[in-house]
Amino acid sequence: MQVIATDIPDLKIIEPRCFGDERGFFFESYSQQRYAELAGIGQDFVQDNHSRSVVGVLRGLHYQLGRPQGKLVRVVSGEIFDVGVDLRRGSPTFGKWAGVALSATNRRQLWLPAGFAHGFYVLSECAEVLYKATDYYSPGDEHCLLWNDPAVGIAWPFAGAVPLLSDKDRCGRPLADLPLFP
């Protein structure tokens, strides 16, 4: 397993070691001991989520304030551009974002600790995304950072195209208007 740094030290790309031949492949997608030792991810995961989206869909940027979730994200079919935004008020990287292409082909994962807004844009015809969460989903506690807030300036990979958004994501709020982590 290889841990790859991003511009935000707490946001990490995980590249599992894969064994493959003409029959297919095998890789360990998560090991609590190995992830704690090599990536510093020692949290317990309490919920697994699975989403399926078509090309052009943008989901996010979501976070829970009272019950913050750390997320370990991977793609089992297709490809996405996955993004984390640091919403921890005292952090030296507050308001900064980092993104990475995750795909079934590259098998990379993105670790987003609690305190980050998370979202992704679907690059392939269809994508299935799995993620492990460190706390349970709490709809009443969820907030949404506006995907195109100029104060954050995410460089989404869809030059000129308009992403497909849910009503909730369309109504996201700018960073300046959001409740934030201490």
| β pairing state of 126-133 and 116-122 | unpaired
Q: Is the pLDDT of residue 27 over 90?
A: no
How much is the pLDDT for 71?
A: 98
Cis peptide preceding 65, ω within 30 of 0: no
> Across residues 167-174, what is the average pLDDT?
96
pTM for the model: 0.94
Q: Is the four-CA dihedral 131, 92, 143, 182 of positive or negative sign?
A: positive
Q: Is the pLDDT of residue 146 over 90?
A: yes
**CA–CA separation, 5 vs 14, rounded Å?**
9
> What does the pLDDT look like over 84-104, one tens digit per residue?
999 999 999 999 999 999 999
How much is the pLDDT for 28?
A: 86
How much is the pLDDT for 162?
A: 87
pLDDT band at 160 (very low <50, low <70, confident <90, very high): confident
What one-character DSSP code corresponds to residue 145?
B
User: Token digits for 125?
Assistant: 């015809």
What integer best gives the mean pLDDT of the chain?
95
**CA–CA separation, 41 vs 112, rounded Å?**
10
> Across residues 101-130, what is the average pLDDT?
98
Range with the poorest average pLDDT among 18-22, 46-50, 121-125, 139-143: 18-22
Q: Is the pLDDT of residue 159 over 80?
A: no
Most distant CA atoms of the chain, gap in Å: 53
Q: Per-residue b/e over 72-93, b at no fewer than 16 CB within 10 Å?
A: bbbbeebbbbbbbbbbbeebeb
> Across residues 45-69, what is the average pLDDT?
97
> Across residues 17-38, what is the average pLDDT?
89
* Domain 2-177 homologous superfamily, CATH: Jelly Rolls (2.60.120.10)
Q: Which of the residues are catalytic?
A: 62, 131
How much is the pLDDT for 92?
A: 97
Domain ranges of the chain: 2-177
Q: If DSSP codes are grouped into helix, strand and coil, which group holds residue 37?
A: helix
Rg (CA), the chain: 16
Residue among 128, 137, 153, 4 at smallest CA distance from 59: 128
Q: If DSSP codes are grouped into helix, strand and coil, which group holds residue 95?
A: coil
